[in-house]
Amino acid sequence: MKKVIVSGANSFVGSALVRELLHHEYEIYALVRDGCSSNLPQSERVHFVPCDLAETASLKDRLPKQTYDIFFHFAWAGVAGPARADTQLQLQNAQWTVDSLRAAKELGCGRFLCAGSIMEYEAMAAAYTQGNRPGMGYIYGGGKLAAHVMCMSVAAELGIDLIWPEITNTYGVGEKSQRVVCTTIQKCIRGEAPQFTAGTQNYDFVYIDDVARAFRLIGEKGKPFHEYLIGSSTARPLKEFLLEMQRAIAPELDFQFGDIPFTGIDLPLNKFDCAQTEADTGFRAEISFGEGCRRTMEWWKSMEDRA
């Protein structure tokens, strides 16, 4: 039975991976903040280990001394809201990620996977476009990029296999955030017509169950020192996704485009290419955006019914 460590295990993506790994007979050591395990299943193969990000360097003293196969790193402070623009916090996240990598090596893990982001590419494009004045939102992506670069060098020096999955945009049952899918679905439930930018920027969404499966497959089959994009393989302009959502969950509402200006970076479609992920791991997303939105809307309704 494979033994793995999952940091940030109680998070949206981390908890989904724990359920995926549990289904595939893994033994999981779930790193959580003390008392924070509400999203995780109870099982004799899930071991809860209280560990704050700042305590990562001492992780080897908190876990049983045995062989671990993979360290999945999801713990990251300030993933939403104003904290995304906190330079000190995002730089600290990068250091904590390197600390986790070193701890993984000390614990005897063969591989280390971190939850990267397509915002790394957006941050580079924003920073290296002449005359551009990036918004504060790119500080989060810059933190992920800094972690990626430093972990590559440190992993090579330590002799541990680093693999860097990068998520486009995940959504689905269990997410409670102010991101576009959540806020739009809640407006649809209330019968409000959502307003958006023109929606011409290229985008991608991938459902949470597919993301969890992708992380498992990348952990099992990914090549060392490779990055793997996790997406739907159907990237297209944002407006097309939102119209698919409208058809699936709110055909009676008028989705309004163009009233809100878009001031960010529009990545070319080739930056959303998942061909390497598919070739090396066999992963391909299975749940369409419309179906994922239907599932997520039903979950939100059930949450309101229980409130």
Which residue did the predictor score with more confidence, 259 or 230?
230
Q: What is the pLDDT of residue 108?
A: 94
Q: Which of 25, 5, 31, 22 is nearest to 110 (CA)?
A: 5
What digits encode the pLDDT tens for the residues 45-99?
Answer: 999 999 999 898 889 889 998 999 999 999 999 998 899 999 999 999 999 999 9
Q: What is the pLDDT of residue 257?
A: 94
Q: What is the pLDDT of residue 58?
A: 87
Q: What is the pLDDT of residue 35?
A: 84
* pLDDT mean across residues, the chain: 95
Which residue did the predictor score with more confidence, 216 or 56?
216
Domains, the chain: 1-167 (3.40.50.720)
Q: What is the pLDDT of residue 119?
A: 96
**In which band, very low, low, confident or very high, does the pLDDT at 263 lie, cut at 50, 70 and 90?**
confident
Q: What is the pLDDT of residue 60?
A: 87
In this prediction, residues 180-197 reach a mean pLDDT of 95
